[in-house]
Amino acid sequence: MRESFSSAAATYDRAAFLARETGRRMAERLDYVRITPERIADIGCATGDGIRELQRRYPRALPLAVDSAAPMLLAARAAMPLMQRMLRRSPQFLNADMNALPLKAGSVGLIWSNLVLHWIDDPQRAFRELLRTLEVGGLLMFAALGPDTLKEIRLAFQDAGYPSEAVPLRPFLDMHDLGDMLLAAGFADPVMDMEIIRITYAGPRDLLRDQRHLGVRDGLFGSLPWRDWRRVFRSFSGQRINGRLTASFEIIYGHAWKPKAKVADDGRAIVRFVPKPE
């Protein structure tokens, strides 16, 4: 996926309306969270919408913009306001993988990740790395695609006579699986919810074009001979309502906190004594 995201840096913004909308809704959730982080990080920052929102909310925090695709970081840097760059208040840009962050343990107070985790083959491994990076009491907030994403295309495969195991669309974890992974990684008090966002298109090619501009077409739709896709898209086109096709995206929102450690690095249990009131 890194190569696909890298090649899409120049076209990403023209098709990133879903990411902008989920980012806006993530930001609304921060209205109900009392936190004053000293360091904030947008992991999988793409062209920088998320880190700019975090900077607006937490102007005193040190901002970090992290992405595995270097061209996305260049686009994010170029999008920073000139005055911010002149005053040296731009984020620190880090080209890194979510599974191996070049950050000290316990160094970040808030981690934000918008529509990235579903591209990770092992989200629990990523959660462990994010937990390592967070300070005690730090917050992870994310949005990810869920299993009902593009359910209209999955129905079109069924209508075209394809068995479920032949559908090449990328499978996505559900809300409960991600919540269980957060707990297994060591996070505390996870809060999960989901919603469906529907986007309409004039035709299948418009849907494909947007996903190509985002750099996710092949990762999302998988590999299938074009003649098979033509059959599926004929079935999909039969679902028109008022001349438009609908594509559903299940959005899973989650946040969780880093608790105090209960076990030391060597495996011994940590016992904390509370002073007796005088």
**Is residue 217 one of the residues assigned to a domain?**
yes
Q: Are 108 and 37 in contact (CB under 8 A)?
A: yes
Identity of residue 32: Y
3-state secondary structure the chain: CHHHHHHCCCCHHHHCHHHHHHHHHHHHHHCCCCCCCCEEEEECCCCCHHHHHHHHHCCCCEEEEEECCHHHHHHHHHHCCHHHHHCCCCCEEEECECCECCCCCCCEEEEEEECCHHHCCCHHHHHHHHHHHEEEEEEEEEEEECCCCCHHHHHHHHHCCCCHHHCCCCCCCCHHHHHHHHHHHCCEEEEEEEEEEEEEECCHHHHHHHHHHHCCHHHHHCCCCHHHHHHHHHHHHCCCECCEEEEEEEEEEEEEECCCCCECCCCCECCCCCCCCC
**Is residue 136 one of the residues assigned to a domain?**
yes
Structure tokens at 157: 């495969």
Please report, in tens digits, the pLDDT of each residue of the chain (278 residues total).
Answer: 778 889 999 999 999 999 999 999 999 999 999 999 999 999 999 999 999 999 999 999 999 999 999 999 999 999 887 766 656 678 999 999 999 999 999 999 999 999 999 999 999 999 999 999 999 999 999 999 999 999 999 999 999 999 988 899 999 999 999 999 999 999 999 999 999 999 999 999 999 999 999 999 999 999 889 899 999 999 999 899 999 999 999 999 999 999 998 765 555 555 544 455 55
**Is residue 272 one of the residues assigned to a domain?**
no
**Is residue 270 one of the residues assigned to a domain?**
no
d(CA 26, CA 37): 17
**Is residue 275 one of the residues assigned to a domain?**
no
Range of the domain at 98: 2-257
Q: Are 192 and 179 in contact (CB under 8 A)?
A: yes
d(CA 268, CA 208): 53
Structure pTM? 0.90
Number of structural domains found in the chain: 1
Identify the pLDDT of residue 89.
Answer: 73
d(CA 19, CA 12): 10
**Is residue 220 one of the residues assigned to a domain?**
yes
Identify the pLDDT of residue 277.
Answer: 59
**Is residue 14 one of the residues assigned to a domain?**
yes
The domain that holds 101 is classified in CATH as 3.40.50.150
Identify the pLDDT of residue 1.
Answer: 72
Identify the pLDDT of residue 90.
Answer: 84
Residues whose CB falls within 8 Å of the CB of residue 242, separated by 6 or more in sequence, listed in order? none
- CA 112, 218, 121, 149 torsion: positive or negative? positive
Rg (alpha carbons) of the chain, rounded to whole number = 21
